[in-house]
Amino acid sequence: SLQFRYRKFMRRTLTGSLVVLIAVSYLVQLLVPGYEEKMALNRILVDSGDYYRLATVALVHGGFLHLGFNLYALYVLGLPVEAYFGRFRYVLILAASLLGGSLLSIYMNPINVFSIGASGMIFGLFASLALIGKRVGVEWRSILVVVGINFALGFMIGGVDWHGHIGGLIGGTLATLVLNGTK
């Protein structure tokens, strides 16, 4: 049954658990006034001690499409990276990507800018999969095309924190290079 397969999937992958966590957080965002503001990333607030925002930025999103694209990307990119590295190393790649994206975002954006979304972490997964793609049966050139399209859309649409995307790419690349060397 569908319910059985869903439960089996959730028990087996951290990626599945993250998809559910972020989706539930978005539901909370819709229902609880002030939740998004409490979780969003902003340099002034981080500088004043709200360091948790470096991570919680991934839990809030700017609409259903933003959420949907990020969750789909997390699922598609995360599963092969998690399978290749295992949970512990996968968590390190996610953390480095998220932290890299958050740090570059707060240091490159104007101080009054608030950022939301899991895109920094997602772009780190793009980088990781591009580096290990051949070993897991993924064509890395196609990943670079998707990353390029995402960057272009960010500039064309506006309101996209491309600094966070670049920071995520850097964090994911560095973590993957280090962890793949120890594998």
For residue 13, how many other CB atoms are within 10 A of its CB? Answer: 18
Question: How does residue 183 score in pLDDT terms, banded at 50, 70 and 90?
Answer: low
Euclidean distance between CA atoms 19 and 168, whole angstroms: 18
Mean pLDDT along residues 166-175:
97
Mean pLDDT in the chain?
89
Please give the C-alpha separations between residue 94 and each of 14, 17, 107, 158, 180, in angstroms, as whole numbers: 11, 13, 20, 25, 14
Tens of pLDDT, residue by residue over 13-43, are 999 999 999 999 999 999 999 999 999 999 9
| Helix/strand/coil for 115 | strand
Please give the C-alpha separations between residue 93 and each of 64, 82, 116, 158, in angstroms, as whole numbers: 26, 9, 20, 28
Tens of pLDDT, residue by residue over 83-132, are 999 999 999 999 999 999 999 999 999 999 999 999 999 999 999 999 99
Q: Compute the C-alpha angle 31/103/129, nearest 5°.
A: 85
Return the minimum-mean-pLDDT range out of 9-18, 73-82, 113-122, 170-179.
9-18
| Helix/strand/coil for 40 | coil
Residues forming a β-bridge with 41: 115
Task: Tell the residue number behind the tokens 């272009």, with chain if given.
Answer: 152
